[in-house]
Amino acid sequence: MRKTKPAACQESGEASRRTRRAVALWLRLARFVNSQHPAMSEQLRTHGLSLAQFDVIAQVGSAEGLTQRDLAGKLVVTEGNITQLLDKMEERGLVSRDAEGRCNRLWLTKAGRRLYAEAVPTQNEHVAGLMSVLTEDEQGELSRMLRKLQRRSG
């Protein structure tokens, strides 16, 4: 005898197809991003950086004086994670924190600025190469769609 799903678990054919398509799309996006991590990590190792450290260098380097809270928001991590990461980077002499009231403002040190100047252009070229299979219009449309998803979830 064939088992059937309880009525509460059954989806209409169209709803089921939409769900499968959405999940397949999500998995494809996640796989693409995850498949790029090894190559990016290897490239960043030549600069002595992890992906997380690179993110800090890139964010702080493009907006020095950023607060730890703002950085955590940009990197979508907890403030506790940022604190640990910044502790290590400060020990390496890459970033400095200046207390301002109840927050810390972040700055790159001379060594941090040197790394920013070396690592960011290289990484940007790598990403541009990945995205070059899409036309400018396709890149714009992908950007619009991802912003729409981000607004919905965030």
CATH value at residue 53: 1.10.10.10
C-alpha to C-alpha distances, 30 to 37, 75, 135, 149, nearest whole angstrom: 11, 17, 21, 14
| 57-83: average pLDDT | 91
Split at pLDDT 50, 70, 90, the class of 15 is confident
Host domain of residue 76: 49-126
Which pLDDT score, from 0 to 100, does residue 24 have?
A: 95
| 104-120: average pLDDT | 96
95-100 vs 103-108, strand pairing mode: antiparallel
Which pLDDT score, from 0 to 100, does residue 12 have?
A: 73
| 69-93: average pLDDT | 91
Task: Work out how many domains the chain is built from and give that number.
Answer: 1
In a domain, 117, yes or no: yes
In a domain, 109, yes or no: yes
In a domain, 43, yes or no: no
In a domain, 108, yes or no: yes
In a domain, 147, yes or no: no
pTM of the model: 0.80
Q: What letter would DSSP give residue 63?
A: S
In a domain, 6, yes or no: no
In a domain, 122, yes or no: yes
Which pLDDT score, from 0 to 100, does residue 13 have?
A: 81
